[in-house]
Amino acid sequence: MEAIELIIGIAVAALVVIGGGALALVRRARGKDVEELPPPRPRPGLDYAPGVGDDAQDPRDSATRTVEQLPPLDAVDASETPLPPADVVAEASGPDLDRPAPAAGRLVRLRERLSRSNTALGQGLLALLSRERVDEATWEEVEDTLLLADLGAGPTEELVERLRERVRVLGTRDADAVRELLAEELLAVVGEDVDRSLAVTPHDGRPAVVLVVGVNGTGKTTTVGKLARVLVAEDKDVLLGAADTFRAAAADQLQTWGERVGVPTVRAPGDSADPASVAFDAVRAGREGEVDVVLLDTAGRLQNKAGLMDELGKVKRVAEKALDGAGGVDEVLLVLDATTGQNGLQQAKVFSEVVQVTGIVLTKLDGTAKGGIVVAVQRQLGVPVKLVGLGEGADDLAPFEPRAFVDALLA
């Protein structure tokens, strides 16, 4: 009996001790002696102001700082770090650089894609002219086909007149003969003897300077990146200038394109810098680095905004100033969206008046059946189409080859 009472007493004592320890822990957790948790880390996507979108007309607030410019989160000194200088050169790095495909023959390689998108023009004309009887109604259909393909009124009238005469003289509806006839006439209106080479050879002890311009959404930055790949494939030393300081992340996008092929990018520390100053710094860096070509990306702008167009003219003048009298900008490439058709012609005209366009880059040519825009824009500006975009791939920017283009239309 006494042994049982002793065991019960020991158990009660143990429960008291355990309960007291638990109570102490609860009180400690509720008390002020608990170690404070560290403050939450900043949230880059929420705690810093976002950039302005692609269609904005005003630059980002100069007080806004990008995430990469903030001091490290674990830094002992919480004071601000100074912003980098205006002419920051982002060096391309990384052991695994892309090897761009050779530029020569790209249009032939992408012939299937081009022919699929343009059957309304080439195949439509072939079907019409191969009929057993080509009457007035047929010629009206031929004219409608050309107009719907954005060839333009003048070139359409000229082409139909020549086709009428040659079909009458030919006197046959043999498919091969008609195809050959069409190929010759389409090649004549596209222009086989036009100089479409890019002026990208350094001269007078300085690099060639290429300015890329256009309206919002035509793919200028992507075009500059793809053009860099074309030039690298030709063993050119290239430097990129991120003079699009209006669109958030435009410089990051351009720098990424450059890093993939080992090309450096000159950019401002923020998105509110003067685009003309960035262009100046890029050309100056290109001269000092003895590169072959400086490619300048610019912000998209609407052709009816006089202030923005004037600024574009300033970018060109300041870039030429950095050459110290050793000539001007070698190429001004206007990027046009081929899917806009005739609407792009007025854009082209205004840009040409401001910066004297020397060549056209037609993007999204794989997404339209209106291949006639090639002819229309050349007639409108008097300058050749030099490059065409045939897809979203990194190497889908091709030097424009008239014969390969016409062959693809009739494939």
CATH number at residue 164: 1.20.120.140
| pTM of the entire predicted model | 0.75
Whether 2 is covered by a domain: the verdict is no
State yes or no: pLDDT of 46 exceeds 60: no
Is 146 found in the same domain as 255?
Answer: no
Contact yes or no for 279/243 (Cβ under 8 A): yes
What domain range includes position 219?
208-409
Give binding residues as ranges: 214-221, 297-301, 363-366
19-30 exposure pattern, b = at least 16 Cβ within 10 A, e = fewer: eeeeeeeeeeee
CA 241, CA 56: separation in Å to the nearest integer? 21
Is 374 found in the same domain as 258?
Answer: yes
Phi, psi dihedral angles at 293 (to 5 degrees): -140, 135
Whether 136 is covered by a domain: the verdict is yes
Q: Beta partners for 265?
A: 90, 240
Give binding residues for GTP as ranges: 214-221, 297-301, 363-366
Band (43; pLDDT cuts 50, 70, 90): very low
Whether 373 is covered by a domain: the verdict is yes
Q: Looking at 143, 158, 190, which one is the last position of a domain?
A: 190
Is 335 found in the same domain as 219?
Answer: yes
* Count of domains observed in the chain: 2
Is 384 found in the same domain as 275?
Answer: yes
Longest C-alpha distance within the chain, in Å?
Answer: 134
Is 398 found in the same domain as 285?
Answer: yes
State yes or no: pLDDT of 200 exceeds 90: yes
Q: Which has the closest alpha carbon to 324: 277, 274, 266, 284? A: 284
Question: What was the pLDDT predicted at 65?
Answer: 29
Is 174 found in the same domain as 282?
Answer: no
Is 274 found in the same domain as 184?
Answer: no
Residues 367-406 pLDDT 10s: 665 678 888 889 888 999 999 988 788 888 989 999 888 8
Whether 196 is covered by a domain: the verdict is no
H or E, element range at 362? strand 359-363
Is 384 found in the same domain as 245?
Answer: yes
H or E, element range at 365? none
Residues 294-343 pLDDT 10s: 999 998 876 666 777 888 899 999 999 999 888 899 999 999 988 877 67
Whether 53 is covered by a domain: the verdict is no
State yes or no: pLDDT of 359 exceeds 60: yes
Is 344 found in the same domain as 291?
Answer: yes
Question: What was the pLDDT predicted at 2?
Answer: 54
State yes or no: pLDDT of 346 exceeds 60: yes
Whether 72 is covered by a domain: the verdict is no
CA 359, CA 378: separation in Å to the nearest integer? 9
Whether 198 is covered by a domain: the verdict is no
